[in-house]
Amino acid sequence: MEYVVDQRLLVRKRHLPIAEMGIFAGHFADPCRIPVCGRTIARDGKRRYVSHGERLIMPELPEVETVRRGLAPVMEGSRFAHVVARRGDLRWPLPKDFAKRLEGHTVTGLGRRAKYLLADLSSGDVLLMHLGMSGSFRVTHPHGVASPGAYYHERSQAAAHDHVVFEMSNGALIAFNDPRRFGSMKLVRRTELGEEPLLRALGPEPLGNAFDAAMLARACHGKKTSLKAALSDQRVVAGLGNIYVCEALHRALLSPKRTASTIATRTGAPNERAKHLVEAIRAVLADAIKAGGSSLRDHKQTNGELGLFQHNFRVYDREGEHCPTPKCSGIIKRIVQTGRSTFFCPVCQR
């Protein structure tokens, strides 16, 4: 019996250019770029093409948390019995002696930092994993054992892009499938994790205790950028992406075009806007995680039904539709900010 934790490439032939994928989750310092649809994708010197009308969406915090919750039951407390790396690189080269450094060691915990998965190992290493745009984990359990988590989604057994396979001591096979190879895996010593370049510049977790109105106001104090741009900056708050920034701003009734500094007083203290915005961010992320994240294609609940968080979008991808805010007469509008599509209501979002 096969299940999948699947937040792969999400494509919907509607409205948006591929240009909105201009910034990768985690702000990778990497020459990989995703330009306007129909043009090339440059990756490691190779030229790739995306058809007109297709839109690529990077998994955001709720999708990665969904993956973590699905993998935890088969990884935590289990040992890497055998590891197969079918190629030497994903987005970057895999670590030297990758398989040897994993085999024989137990996963003591599976966490998440922003859009990264972190598997703590008994060796003192941490396996740092990123899904990229098309990465997914497929779990195969022997003898038809029940699904190990509520967030696994049935998928075909096509394995052409299974680049890394973990055979766990509990019998589970975990395959990392990534057609576009924008995902990554890296081994970091736990004692050096605070200095890891991929993590050290990240802001606080939006669902953590450190994230509150005072913190957000301080981060935005004096910023002349738009509020949308500030919230999309991983240094301000970690894990937020285009979808949930748009949705949170609508819930808080704040315009994405508003100057970021206007959520703080002259001294940097939070005002009511900051308080409402923090509440909205927490609420929209909690709702999305409860729904198993958002996807626009090939993502089903365990009972086979659709109806995940994308069906609860208030503004994202709703250009031209009526605003769902009670008694609001506005029509959802789409604009482009810093190369990304922004959806908002010009009437109730001020």
- Residue 142 falls in the annotated catalytic set: no
- Residue 167 falls in the annotated catalytic set: no
- Residue 340 falls in the annotated catalytic set: yes
- Residue 115 falls in the annotated catalytic set: yes
Q: Which of 8, 20, 55, 59 is catalytic?
A: 59
Q: Which of 8, 20, 60, 247 is catalytic?
A: 60
Report the 3 state secondary structure along the chain. CEEEEECCCCCCCCCCCHHHHCCCCCCCCCCCECCCCCCEEEECCEEEECCCCCCCCCCCHHHHHHHHHHHHHHHCCCEEEEEEECCCECCCECCCCHHHHHCCCEEEEEEEECCEEEEEECCCEEEEEECCCCCEEEEECHHHCCCCCCCCCCCCCCCCCEEEEEEECCCCEEEEECCCCCCEEEEEEHHHHHHCCCCCCCCCCCCCCCCCHHHHHHHHCCCCCEHHHHHHCCCCCCCCCHHHHHHHHHHCCCCCCCEHHHHECCCCCECHHHHHHHHHHHHHHHHHHHCCCCCCCCCCCCCCCCCCHHHHCCCCCCCCCECCCCCCCCECEEEEECCEEEEECCCCCC
Q: Which of 115, 186, 228, 251 is catalytic?
A: 115
Beta strands 46-49 and 40-43, pairing class: antiparallel
What are the catalytic residues?
59-60, 115, 340
